[in-house]
Structure 1
Amino acid sequence: MTTESVNPPKRFKYNATLAIVVAMVAGYIVGVIGGESLSQIQFIGDVFFRLVQMGIVPFVMCTIIEAVGGLTARDLSGIGVKGIAWFAGSSILAASCGVAAATIFQPGAGLADAALVQEATYDASSATAVTVQDTITNFFSSNIVSSMGAGAMVPCIVFSIALGLAISWWRSNHEGEPCPVFDFIAQFGELLLVVIRGVMTIAPIGIFCYVSSMVGQLGPEVLIPLLKYLLVLGGTVFAFLVLWIIVVCVRCSLSPAVLIRHIWRMSFMAIATISSAVTLPVEMDDAKNKIGVREDIADLVLPLGMPLNSNGASIHLAVTAITIAQIYGMTFGGLDFVFLTVISTLLSLANAVAPGADIVSLTMIVPQLGLPLSSIGIFAGLTYPVGAIRTILNVDSDVFCAMMVAAGEKDGIDRDVFYGKKALEK
């Protein structure tokens, strides 16, 4: 037996995130060199984003129906309903902060004179209605099939929540019996995710074509909004984390310094893996054994938070949408901000577990606001930093929501465990 047969050479492992970053850098260099002539290859990027978009509406619907339909009677009462209320409130507030920060600091401003911006067109009527009443009315569909065909995401999400609640009620009243509709939707969602993941394997090609085309037409100055964008996104997430820590510590009468020390491990894991699912075991262990959250509360609220609470994703969607609008010299009014806050919150429920998940998220929101789909290519190489920024807040806010629920329960937080005076009895 030869040494080579005992230790076979390692096969090359494809890294989608790295490939997207390389594609963006290469696209930027080629775009600077090639100039406006590269607009001829933008159609390849158009094809890529259409492939991503083709399954987005049913994927979002399946994800939300499965998340809501999987709730039990226990989830929808007592501790569970308190947790869900905190999830909703914090996600709406996060999206509002994202809208406010991007509007104030304007990371996308400064390209109004570029040729691509001046020639850009968008359907403003698709973004919001004229009145508050019409805006609210448009959240509800009279024909869900036509809403799906039109890509109207908000009414599709409202329908998905309603169907999810109906499935949850049916499963609670037929305990032990399988629910064929729920099983079908769960499996269909998994298949759609396989399609999305498959499409994302060719993301570097589409991204390269889009970025080179965009840089060729916009010029090197497109990097300035990107740097400002990352600063605004990161600064908003940091400020929101600080606000969360203050609120939690005041409500629970705990030391902020000790809390920060206890969430350090899960925060680092979130940054390193950019995955809430991978971080969940560490998050649950720290919540119970370091922070002292009562076991039944942690075991219920934290797993629920993974699909239902994404403060980081809410901020990311809001900041990115405003940035894109500013890059193209487009302005939003009062109702547009309300609509953006609502849709950022709702779409944060449907985070794709796939390489380039931030790109998938943007294909959900950009068309809803009537913004050019081609703009997504500008942000394609920021997958890791954006993912890390989003995930740290997604993970930490789940724990903070659990602490807020625990604060209202008897012996919800064991202070001796929190301050290290005793180890949690197992």
Structure 2
Amino acid sequence: MLERYENVLLLSISHPPIRGRAVSQGTVITMASETSSQTKRFKYNPTAAMVVSMVAGVVAGLVVGPAMQNIQFIGNIFFRLIQMGIVPFVMCEIIGAIGSLSKRELAGIGLRATIAFLVSSLLAATFGIFCTVVFKPGAGLAQTALVQSATTDLEATSVSISQTITDFVPSNIIGAIASGSMVPCIVFSIFFGIAIILVRENGDGSCPVYGWVLNLNEILLQIIKIVMNIAPIGIFAYVSSSVGALGFDVLLAIGKYILVLAGATLVFTIAWFIVVSVRCKLNIVTLMKKMVPMSVMAAATISSAVTLPMEMEDAKNKIGLRRDIADLVLPLGVPLNSNGSALHMAVTAVFVSQMYDMEFVGSALIMVCVISWLLSLANAVAPGATLISLTMLIPALGLPLQAVAILGGLEYIVAAIRTTLNVNSDVFCALLVAAKEEGGIDRDIFDGVKQAA
């Protein structure tokens, strides 16, 4: 019987049945097709899983309340597993990307990307200030119990423009890696990559250390992929505990602040889509669809660095961004292109000034814009870095530090909003850079005509 079935199966493979042929091999093929269809139907979709985990986390946090904080440690473990390899991964990506270029290529792509990063982040901070001044989300909160009873044991962190710029250069690269300070790590990586270029061009064209960096990068990427298998569990635990700790009262009191931040981010993102689609001659709807998975990942993990592997893969394999441009510009954008962080800092600063009846006008708003822009570059890669930034931003502008006690609990909500723009703007800047390069965007890949090699 078994031998007969094997013969029928072999016959069906050698001679596929035509439609309407009522023979046994046609039945075998039909059964195989149905099984294959069912397998595809139930294929695991990581993007959908993260969306479900976020929604479930919000619902659980609102329904159960503060008790959900008991599982926050699960979310903390997940983020620590992700973070343990992120900084060296980003460094290896940048070293590898720069080391593969010539000096002329580095000057062209790298310089244009840096200019795009800095200008777009400055525009984001300016737009955030404009929206907050117009809609005044903090007006009328000065006499509320939320503001009157706010206390904190946090200490102010002094900040100046000169010191902030100085801190971008590492004095100890091991210390910078340990603290998660991305800009100093990137500065070191850039010098490392340039040194590899010089060694290769001045020697026989080879550099053993360069190959070692590429291998290490591949290993770190595999570690990140392994950890991401438990992403929905970690995200549910973190979201539910964060929302449960807040409660309805806090969310209602500062709901207008969240709406202004989310609205300004959405409008700025749409403006980016329009500019990029026109400049690069890309279909805006198709571009939006291709960037949905990385946007969901950014909102779920609230970390640009954690989203970087998926962002780079989709940029190359779905959008058609040329490999050398994606490998250099996207990792550089993690610390240098924080459109979402700059907008968030600016909105928060003006909101706090309104909340305490200390509104900024004239040149003071320019100072808010510059400080917000610079501090957006100084963010660490770890979730929870908002508290560090706020303890630098609020005192630097002469505002009460008690505001941190009110806003600190909103970490997940505001981080999900700003990280989405951070990640998307990296791709936007890379596309603008690629538009000036011959073959910078493979339109056949973007249109789905062919797959990336």
Per the TM superposition, whether the score is higher than 0.5 is yes
Picking from 86, 89, 99, the partner of 2:129 is: 99
Q: Which amino acid in the other structure matches residue 136 of structure 2?
A: Q
Higher relative contact order, structure no. (Cα contacts within 8 Å, ≥ 6 residues apart): 1
Residue type matched to 2:137 in 1?
A: P
Is it true that 1:282 corresponds to 2:282 in the alignment?
no
For 2:272 and 2:355, the matched residues in 1 are separated by 31
Q: Secondary structure at the match of 2:399?
A: coil
Q: CA shift at 1:221, angstroms? A: 7.9
Aligned-pair CA distance for 1:418: 0.7
The equivalent position to 1:229 in structure 2, one of 257, 268, 272, is: 257
Gaps of 5+ in 2: 1-56, 67-90, 151-155, 171-183, 200-206, 208-241
The correspondence of residues 3-402 of structure 1 with structure 2, limited to 5 A, is: 77-113=107-143, 151-161=158-168, 172=194, 224-402=252-430
Larger Rg: 2
Describe the shift of the 1:117–1:386 C-alpha distance in structure 2 as closer, same or farther (beyond 3 A): closer
Q: Distance in 1 between matches of 2:193 and 2:117?
A: 23
Structure 2 CA distance for partners of 1:89 and 1:244, relative to 1, 3 Å:
same
1:107·1:225 contact (CA, 8 Å) conserved in 2?
Answer: no
Given that residues 75 and 300 in structure 1 are in contact (C-alpha distance below 8 angstroms), is that contact kept between their aligned partners in structure 2? Answer: no
1:352–1:361 CA contact under 8 A, matched in 2: no
C-alpha deviation, 1:87, in angstroms:
0.4
Alpha-carbon distance, 1:160 to partner: 3.5
Identity %: 49
**Alpha-carbon contact 1:75-1:81 (below 8 Å) kept:** no
SS for the counterpart of 1:271 is helix
* 1:225–1:101 distance in 2 versus 1, CA, 3 Å: farther
Name the counterpart of 2:174.
none
Q: Is this contact kept in 2: 1:251–1:404, CA < 8 A? A: yes
What CA deviation, in whole Å up to 9, does each residue of 1:114-148 have, x standing for no partner? 5897999xxxxxxxxxxxxxxxxxxxxxxxxxxxx
CA shift for structure 1 position 385: 1.3
Q: Match of 1:360, as an amino acid? A: I
Superposed CA deviations along residues 312-357 of structure 1, whole A, max 9, x for unmatched, are 1111111111111111000112111111111111111122233422
Q: Which amino acid aligns with 1:77?
A: A
SS of aligned partner of 1:332:
coil
Unaligned runs of 5+ in 1: 1-16, 27-65, 121-148, 178-207
Instruction: Output the CA distance in 1 between the equivalents of 2:125 and 2:107.
Output: 26
Listed one character per residue, the Cα deviations across residues 384-425 of structure 1 (whole Å, up to 9, x for unaligned) are: 11111011111111001000000111111111111111112x
How much is the aligned-residue C-alpha RMSD, in angstroms? 3.7
The one-letter code matched in structure 2 to 1:281 is: P
Give distance in 2, aligned partners of 1:393 and 1:251: 19
Give me the whole-angstrom Cα distance separating, in 2, the residues matched to 1:379 and 1:261: 33
The one-letter amino acid paired with 1:159 is T
Verify the 8 A CA contact 1:358 1:386 in the aligned structure 2: no
> In 2, are the aligned partners of 1:109 and 1:225 still within 8 Å (CA)?
no
Whole-angstrom distance in 1 between the partners of 2:422 and 2:104? 23
Give the TM-score taking structure 2 as reference length: 0.59
Give the conservation status (yes or no) of the 8 Å contact 2:157–2:391. no
User: Any idea what SS the aligned residue of 1:108 has?
Assistant: coil
Tell me, what secondary structure is at the counterpart of 1:423? coil
Deviation at 1:113, TM superposition (A): 4.0
Contact preservation (8 Å) 1:97, 1:315: yes
What amino acid is aligned across from residue 373 of structure 1 in structure 2?
L
CA distance, structure 1, for counterparts of residue 266 and residue 276 of structure 2: 15
Q: Is the 8 A contact 1:74 1:80 kept in 2?
A: no
CA distance 1:349–1:74, shift in 2 (3 Å): farther
1:8 is matched with which residue? none
